Amino acid sequence: MQAVTEWIQENRQAAIEWRFLDKFVLPKIPEYLGKALDQPPTSERTRQAFLAESTEAKEKLRLTSGSPRSAKKYLFTKGWANPRRVIESWWDEDAKKGLTAQSCPDWAFRAPSTHTVVFEAKLFRDGGIERARSELVSGIYQCFYYRAHPETRETETHPAWKYDYACLFAYDASKNQTLVEAWESLNKTVKAACWDSANIFVMVLPNRSL
Protein backbone atom coordinates (compact mmCIF):
# COMPACT_ATOMS: atom_id res chain seq x y z
CA MET A 1 0.00 0.00 0.00
CA GLN A 2 1.27 3.45 -0.87
CA ALA A 3 2.74 5.23 2.15
CA VAL A 4 0.35 7.69 3.77
CA THR A 5 2.92 10.52 3.88
CA GLU A 6 3.80 10.07 0.21
CA TRP A 7 0.14 10.03 -0.79
CA ILE A 8 -0.62 13.18 1.21
CA GLN A 9 2.31 15.02 -0.38
CA GLU A 10 0.98 14.16 -3.83
CA ASN A 11 -2.50 15.43 -2.93
CA ARG A 12 -1.66 18.49 -0.86
CA GLN A 13 -3.63 20.89 -3.04
CA ALA A 14 -6.84 18.85 -2.92
CA ALA A 15 -9.60 18.66 -0.35
CA ILE A 16 -8.43 15.21 0.63
CA GLU A 17 -9.98 14.24 3.97
CA TRP A 18 -12.71 12.12 2.39
CA ARG A 19 -10.23 10.64 -0.11
CA PHE A 20 -7.90 9.78 2.75
CA LEU A 21 -10.72 7.90 4.49
CA ASP A 22 -11.70 6.06 1.31
CA LYS A 23 -8.13 4.94 0.65
CA PHE A 24 -6.61 4.23 4.06
CA VAL A 25 -9.32 3.94 6.72
CA LEU A 26 -12.72 2.67 5.60
CA PRO A 27 -11.44 -0.41 3.69
CA LYS A 28 -9.82 -1.70 6.91
CA ILE A 29 -12.94 -1.46 9.06
CA PRO A 30 -14.77 -4.60 7.81
CA GLU A 31 -11.85 -6.75 8.96
CA TYR A 32 -12.17 -5.34 12.48
CA LEU A 33 -15.95 -5.64 12.52
CA GLY A 34 -15.81 -9.15 11.09
CA LYS A 35 -13.57 -10.31 13.92
CA ALA A 36 -15.82 -8.66 16.50
CA LEU A 37 -18.87 -10.37 15.00
CA ASP A 38 -17.09 -13.65 14.24
CA GLN A 39 -18.02 -13.16 10.60
CA PRO A 40 -16.10 -12.80 7.32
CA PRO A 41 -15.35 -9.14 6.46
CA THR A 42 -17.50 -9.48 3.33
CA SER A 43 -20.52 -11.04 5.05
CA GLU A 44 -23.90 -9.33 4.96
CA ARG A 45 -23.92 -9.25 8.75
CA THR A 46 -20.66 -7.27 8.78
CA ARG A 47 -21.99 -4.88 6.14
CA GLN A 48 -25.18 -4.38 8.13
CA ALA A 49 -23.16 -3.18 11.13
CA PHE A 50 -21.17 -0.64 9.08
CA LEU A 51 -22.54 2.73 7.93
CA ALA A 52 -20.49 5.41 6.15
CA GLU A 53 -21.00 8.75 4.45
CA SER A 54 -18.71 7.66 1.62
CA THR A 55 -20.46 6.83 -1.64
CA GLU A 56 -17.46 4.81 -2.79
CA ALA A 57 -17.52 2.65 0.34
CA LYS A 58 -21.16 1.76 -0.26
CA GLU A 59 -21.55 1.61 -4.03
CA LYS A 60 -18.11 0.77 -5.41
CA LEU A 61 -16.45 -1.20 -2.62
CA ARG A 62 -19.71 -2.49 -1.11
CA LEU A 63 -18.34 -2.25 2.41
CA THR A 64 -21.34 -0.64 4.07
CA SER A 65 -25.10 -1.05 4.28
CA GLY A 66 -25.95 2.64 4.05
CA SER A 67 -25.32 6.16 5.28
CA PRO A 68 -25.40 7.28 8.93
CA ARG A 69 -27.26 10.44 7.93
CA SER A 70 -29.86 11.52 10.47
CA ALA A 71 -33.53 11.16 9.64
CA LYS A 72 -34.40 14.66 10.85
CA LYS A 73 -32.95 18.14 10.67
CA TYR A 74 -31.64 19.83 13.80
CA LEU A 75 -31.51 23.31 15.30
CA PHE A 76 -27.74 23.62 15.09
CA THR A 77 -24.91 22.32 12.94
CA LYS A 78 -21.79 20.55 14.18
CA GLY A 79 -19.78 23.75 13.59
CA TRP A 80 -19.54 26.66 16.01
CA ALA A 81 -22.82 28.58 15.85
CA ASN A 82 -22.88 32.26 14.89
CA PRO A 83 -25.59 33.67 17.23
CA ARG A 84 -26.55 36.42 14.78
CA ARG A 85 -27.18 33.99 11.95
CA VAL A 86 -29.09 31.64 14.24
CA ILE A 87 -31.37 34.49 15.36
CA GLU A 88 -31.99 35.54 11.75
CA SER A 89 -32.98 32.01 10.73
CA TRP A 90 -35.09 31.19 13.79
CA TRP A 91 -37.23 34.30 13.46
CA ASP A 92 -37.64 34.02 9.70
CA GLU A 93 -41.19 33.46 8.44
CA ASP A 94 -39.96 30.44 6.51
CA ALA A 95 -39.76 27.85 9.30
CA LYS A 96 -37.46 25.62 7.26
CA LYS A 97 -34.70 28.19 7.48
CA GLY A 98 -34.61 27.70 11.23
CA LEU A 99 -33.47 24.11 10.83
CA THR A 100 -30.04 23.03 9.69
CA ALA A 101 -29.12 20.34 7.21
CA GLN A 102 -29.29 16.73 8.29
CA SER A 103 -26.36 15.53 10.35
CA CYS A 104 -24.05 13.00 8.77
CA PRO A 105 -21.02 11.65 10.65
CA ASP A 106 -18.15 10.08 8.70
CA TRP A 107 -19.07 6.53 9.68
CA ALA A 108 -20.85 4.56 12.37
CA PHE A 109 -21.29 1.11 13.89
CA ARG A 110 -24.82 -0.14 14.53
CA ALA A 111 -26.44 -3.45 15.44
CA PRO A 112 -25.47 -6.23 15.03
CA SER A 113 -22.28 -4.58 16.30
CA THR A 114 -22.06 -5.03 20.06
CA HIS A 115 -21.28 -1.35 20.53
CA THR A 116 -23.05 1.42 18.62
CA VAL A 117 -20.57 4.17 17.84
CA VAL A 118 -20.63 7.33 15.73
CA PHE A 119 -17.29 8.50 14.27
CA GLU A 120 -15.94 11.94 13.37
CA ALA A 121 -12.68 11.93 11.40
CA LYS A 122 -9.98 14.59 11.12
CA LEU A 123 -6.89 14.71 8.92
CA PHE A 124 -4.44 17.25 10.32
CA ARG A 125 -1.88 18.12 7.65
CA ASP A 126 -0.03 21.15 9.01
CA GLY A 127 -0.15 24.02 11.48
CA GLY A 128 1.21 25.18 14.80
CA ILE A 129 0.13 24.22 18.28
CA GLU A 130 -2.72 26.75 18.46
CA ARG A 131 -4.26 25.44 15.27
CA ALA A 132 -3.82 21.88 16.51
CA ARG A 133 -5.59 22.71 19.77
CA SER A 134 -8.41 24.37 17.85
CA GLU A 135 -8.85 21.33 15.60
CA LEU A 136 -8.86 19.02 18.61
CA VAL A 137 -11.50 21.05 20.45
CA SER A 138 -13.58 21.28 17.27
CA GLY A 139 -13.42 17.53 16.69
CA ILE A 140 -14.37 16.66 20.27
CA TYR A 141 -17.21 19.19 20.14
CA GLN A 142 -18.54 17.59 16.96
CA CYS A 143 -18.54 14.18 18.64
CA PHE A 144 -20.44 15.73 21.54
CA TYR A 145 -22.92 17.22 19.05
CA TYR A 146 -23.66 13.81 17.51
CA ARG A 147 -24.04 12.18 20.92
CA ALA A 148 -26.58 14.84 21.88
CA HIS A 149 -29.05 13.80 19.17
CA PRO A 150 -32.20 12.10 20.48
CA GLU A 151 -32.94 8.53 19.50
CA THR A 152 -34.97 7.98 16.33
CA ARG A 153 -36.55 4.88 14.86
CA GLU A 154 -35.37 3.01 11.81
CA THR A 155 -36.98 4.05 8.51
CA GLU A 156 -36.64 2.80 4.95
CA THR A 157 -34.22 5.60 4.11
CA HIS A 158 -32.46 6.25 7.44
CA PRO A 159 -31.04 3.98 10.13
CA ALA A 160 -32.08 4.45 13.74
CA TRP A 161 -30.13 7.16 15.53
CA LYS A 162 -29.10 5.37 18.69
CA TYR A 163 -25.40 5.58 19.51
CA ASP A 164 -23.92 4.73 22.88
CA TYR A 165 -20.53 6.23 22.11
CA ALA A 166 -18.74 8.68 19.83
CA CYS A 167 -15.16 8.44 18.62
CA LEU A 168 -12.88 11.15 17.27
CA PHE A 169 -10.50 9.54 14.79
CA ALA A 170 -7.70 12.06 14.14
CA TYR A 171 -4.62 11.38 12.03
CA ASP A 172 -1.66 13.72 12.47
CA ALA A 173 0.12 14.04 9.12
CA SER A 174 1.99 17.20 10.13
CA LYS A 175 5.78 17.35 10.06
CA ASN A 176 6.13 18.32 13.71
CA GLN A 177 3.27 16.16 15.01
CA THR A 178 1.57 19.13 16.63
CA LEU A 179 -1.84 17.45 16.89
CA VAL A 180 -0.28 14.61 18.87
CA GLU A 181 1.45 17.21 21.04
CA ALA A 182 -1.83 19.05 21.61
CA TRP A 183 -3.56 15.85 22.74
CA GLU A 184 -0.72 14.67 24.96
CA SER A 185 -0.48 18.06 26.69
CA LEU A 186 -4.24 18.40 27.23
CA ASN A 187 -5.30 18.88 30.84
CA LYS A 188 -5.70 15.39 32.32
CA THR A 189 -9.04 16.25 33.91
CA VAL A 190 -10.44 17.37 30.57
CA LYS A 191 -9.02 14.33 28.80
CA ALA A 192 -10.62 11.98 31.33
CA ALA A 193 -13.95 13.83 31.10
CA CYS A 194 -14.19 13.10 27.37
CA TRP A 195 -14.73 9.44 28.22
CA ASP A 196 -16.07 9.56 31.77
CA SER A 197 -18.60 12.36 31.24
CA ALA A 198 -19.43 12.27 27.54
CA ASN A 199 -18.74 8.72 26.25
CA ILE A 200 -16.31 10.16 23.71
CA PHE A 201 -13.18 8.18 22.88
CA VAL A 202 -10.39 10.20 21.29
CA MET A 203 -7.87 8.54 18.96
CA VAL A 204 -5.00 10.77 17.80
CA LEU A 205 -2.75 8.69 15.56
CA PRO A 206 0.82 9.80 14.81
CA ASN A 207 2.17 9.91 11.30
CA ARG A 208 3.01 6.55 9.70
CA SER A 209 0.72 4.66 12.08
CA LEU A 210 -1.51 3.38 9.27
pLDDT tens readout for residues 108-148: 999 999 999 999 999 999 999 999 999 999 999 999 999 99
Least confident stretch, 40-44, 83-87, 161-165, 201-205: 83-87
**Residue 2 pLDDT:** 57
Q: What is the pTM of this model?
A: 0.92
Please give the Cα distance from 108 to 61 (Å, whole number): 17
Q: Is 120 left (phi over 0), alpha (psi -120 to 50) or beta?
A: beta
How many helices and strands (H and E) does the chain possess? 9, 5
More confident residue, 209 or 19: 19
Residue 164's nearest CA partner among 200, 139, 192 is: 200
| Mean pLDDT of all residues in 182-206 | 97
> Under a CB-based contact definition with an 8 Å cutoff, are residues 149 and 104 in contact?
no
- When pLDDT is cut at 50, 70 and 90, the band that residue 4 belongs to is confident
**Residue 1 pLDDT:** 43
Could you give the percent of the chain with pLDDT greater than 90? 75
**Residue 96 pLDDT:** 66
More confident residue, 56 or 2: 56
